[in-house]
Amino acid sequence: MAISTLFNFLLNNPNAPVPFPWERIIDIQRRLIYYRHNGTGGMIFDARRLVNVGGAETFGFLATKEFAC
């Protein structure tokens, strides 16, 4: 799945799990959310302040200098 297709999927289906071959990874310790392509190993970091991770769950944090991209 192309990156643009992943972005469109995230916009149009915020409550659904990401489709294969993508995987959503939530790193609580580092306060990061990223998407990994299982076929290529490529990663995309999600820089939004609040991210709907499915259902009624929203993961958010305040960006600090340490985590700002």
What is the per-residue pLDDT across 6-45, written as a single tens digit (0 to 9) for each?
A: 888 888 887 788 888 999 888 888 888 889 999 999 998 8
Report the distance separating Cα 41 and Cα 64, nearest Å.
Answer: 27
**Contact of 49 with 41, CB cutoff 8 Å:** no
Query: Residue 37's pLDDT is what?
Result: 92
Q: pTM surpassing 0.75?
A: no
Indicate whether 3 pLDDT > 60.
Answer: yes
36 belongs to a structural domain? yes
Per-residue model confidence (pLDDT) at position 55: 55
Closest C-alpha among 41, 47, 52 to residue 18: 52
Say if 35 falls within a structural domain.
Answer: yes
Q: How many domains does the chain have?
A: 1
Domain contains 65: no
Domain containing 35 equals: 3-60
Please indicate, yes or no, if residue 66 is contained in any of the structural domains: no
